[in-house]
Amino acid sequence: MPTLTMASPIGDLALVETDGQITALKWGKSGADKSPLLIEAQAQLEAYFAGSLTQFDLPMAPAGSELQRSVCAAMCQIPLGETRTYGDLAQQLGKPAQAIGQACGGNPIPILIPCHRILAANGLGGFSGGIGIETKVWLLRHEGAAGLLI
């Protein structure tokens, strides 16, 4: 699987392509492959971090169960600067909040599929990417959702 590593304000990110779709984004160095899709994904992430891109437009194929894919699709509908709770997604999808939390934690394409925009009912909730909750806070502040953190 072609993999491209790029530097970002939250650490090195490795983008993974499978069959013409982004299938993973991981923290760390993992490869230096170049394909038109990986180059475009890097350009969109750089624009996002520069503050000039508010919505990603990339073909993505998150692996997982039907629930995982439906949670990922729902997260992609949350606009930059906005958040939802696990309970909000649970109600929207008709599933238990705990299952939504597990699906968010299993998101294979964080940032591009914005699981960082999902909060617990009474706090930030978790985040499995980067250095954990600090990365989630950084992403929310970057997107202008910092008012939620006060």
Cite the active site residues: 115
Query: In 10 A of CB 35, how many CB atoms?
Result: 14
Name the DSSP class of 79. P
* Spatial distance between the Cα atoms of 150 and 133, rounded to a whole number of angstroms: 15
Given a contact cutoff of 8 angstroms between Cβ atoms, the answer to whether 70 and 30 are in contact is: no
